[in-house]
Chains A and B, each alone.
Chain A
Amino acid sequence: MKAPLIVIISSILILVVSFFIFTGTPVFLKNYSKIKVFCGEIAGPALKIFGRPLDGIKYLFNTYINLVDTKKENNMLKKRIGELELENQKIHDLEEENKRLKSILKLTEKNPGNYTVARIIGEDVKNWFKCMIIDKGRDDGLKERMPVITPKGIVGQVVEVNKWHSKVMTIGDANSSVDVNVEGRETRGILEGTDHNVLRLKYITKNDEIEVGDKLVTSGKDGIYPKGIPAGIVIAVNKNKAGIFYDIEVMPYNNFKRLDEVIVIKRR
């Protein structure tokens, strides 16, 4: 059975148009953005609904899987003890959440108008990019390039804003760069994402002072992130690398896979 010619012609046409959109041709990009924004606005509430069972899944992971491990360790565990452990775990989760929310509140209380607390409702469907979706959007005053942090440190920046949700590119993404200073030293460099857990600190010359364990904070010179936000900790310095720069690995303070809430800094 031969495919209808019209379908093949249509698909080649779509292929050409999408290639022009991909390469950033303004006419195509402008029209496509409108369609994408419209679709994104429909998708926002759906994501929130799908994200609801997340708490249940999280609870299941924190309790049931722990319980299975405990069972393996101790075969004599009785049903009553299991129930008590479940309850304890629940309390522990609540305590952790309380602690987390308190630290967020402490930070946001200083300048209430400048911060928006957002919940993470999803992440990138492709593991090629390091992006997360938050439940705050244009209606909450969010704009592109706004910095996103947690009380622990920097998370990333807002890259796409829809009516009800926004996308945040984490500092772990290979396209992310942050201007940072080494705390307590005169050293300054660019912190780049690698698409993996570890970040890379670039352009630190061999004359600069840097050691394993040094803490990095944002310099405020990149026009996105405010000064003094913790960015990460130096975990490896390769001083034997050829060239004028060190090869430095940095561990971010946040584990981006385990975040529940983030703070968006609205002041620019």
Chain B
Amino acid sequence: MKVYIFILMGIILSFLESSLLSYIPAEFLKPDVTIPMIVYTTFFLNTGAGLIVSVIMGVIQEILSASPDGSMIFLKVLIFLLTLFFKNKLFIDSKYSFSYVCAGAVVCESLIYAFLSWIAKGESRHIENILFFMLPNAVFTGFLAIFIFSFVGFLNMKFFSKD
């Protein structure tokens, strides 16, 4: 049940980001709304759920962006694997530590994509842009993660406390 809620939340936030945030002229106001979903499901739900959420979020981002086919799924699954690797090494005890992990995941995602762009022909022109937006994206995703963590906590208290 929780997995479906995360998937739905990720889809709704992505669509809102694409349609509503387009009016805000600031280019750096583009948090990666899918990262908190992936990190949360991998850390707090089962690993299978994390993989499913990663793949679906990757597909959604590809539909809503001009990224090359397969690139977003690759990135999201890689972030999922990295999160899985750090699951027993990092300890998320508050919304702030969750926020730091999400911001770190965005930095990793940007660096991995920049590296992929560098090795893939034709996409190398975006490297400068990816690196330019890496930190603003990480900061805004971190902020968003605080609210998402609080909202999920509220949902857990209200609806899933008996689970």
Contact = CB atoms under 8 A, between A and B. Distances in A.
Interface of A: 1, 3-4, 7-8, 10-12, 14-15, 17-23, 28-29, 32-33, 35-36, 39-40, 43, 46-47, 50-51, 53-54, 57-58, 61, 120-133, 159-160, 167, 169, 173-175, 195-196, 257-258
Contact of B70 (A12, A21, A120): A21
A32 B47 contact: no
Contacts of B113: 128
Given A127-B133, A175-B125, A54 B70 contact: no
B146 to A, nearest CB: 20
B159 interface: no
B144 interface: no
B137 A127 contact: yes
Nearest to B113: A128
Interface stretch (B55-63, B89-97, B150-158): B55-63
A11 B69 contact: no
A54 B63 contact: no
B122 to A, nearest CB: 7
B66 A124 contact: yes
Contacts of B78: 15
Max count, chain A CB within 10 A of own CB: residue among B18, B28, B33: B18
B47 A19 contact: no
15 contacts: A7-B50, A15-B77, A18-B70, A21-B73, A29-B70, A33-B69, A50-B16, A51-B19, A54-B19, A125-B14, A127-B28, A127-B129, A127-B133, A195-B132, A257-B22
Contacts of B47: 3-4, 7-8
A22 B68 contact: yes
B77 A22 contact: no
B15 A19 contact: no
Contacts of A129: 65-67, 126
Given A125-B17, A126-B61, A127-B30, A11 B51 contact: yes
Contacts of A36: 59, 62-63, 69
B23 A18 contact: no
Given A11-B80, A39-B63, A51-B20, 17 more contacts: A3-B87, A18-B74, A21-B69, A21-B73, A23-B120, A32-B70, A36-B63, A50-B19, A125-B64, A125-B65, A126-B65, A127-B129, A127-B133, A128-B126, A128-B129, A128-B130, A174-B128
A10 B133 CA distance: 31
Given A22-B120, A257-B25, A126 B67 contact: yes
Nearest to A29: B69
Contacts of B130: 128
B108 interface: no
Interface of B: 14-23, 25, 27-28, 30, 32-33, 47-48, 50-51, 54-55, 58-71, 73-74, 77-78, 80-81, 84, 87-88, 113, 116, 120, 122-123, 125-126, 128-130, 132-133, 137
A133 B59 CA distance: 16
A46 B77 CA distance: 25
Contact of A159 (B28, B66, B81, B84): B66
A19 B50 CA distance: 19
Q: Which 5 A-B pairs have the closest CB atoms?
A: A21-B70, A131-B66, A174-B125, A195-B129, A122-B18
A22 B116 contact: yes
A112 to B, nearest CB: 29
A20 B33 CA distance: 26
A194 to B, nearest CB: 8
A50 B58 CA distance: 20
A130 B27 CA distance: 10
A175 B129 CA distance: 12
Contacts of B125: 174-175, 195
Nearest to A25: B70
B64 A122 contact: yes
A43 B64 contact: yes
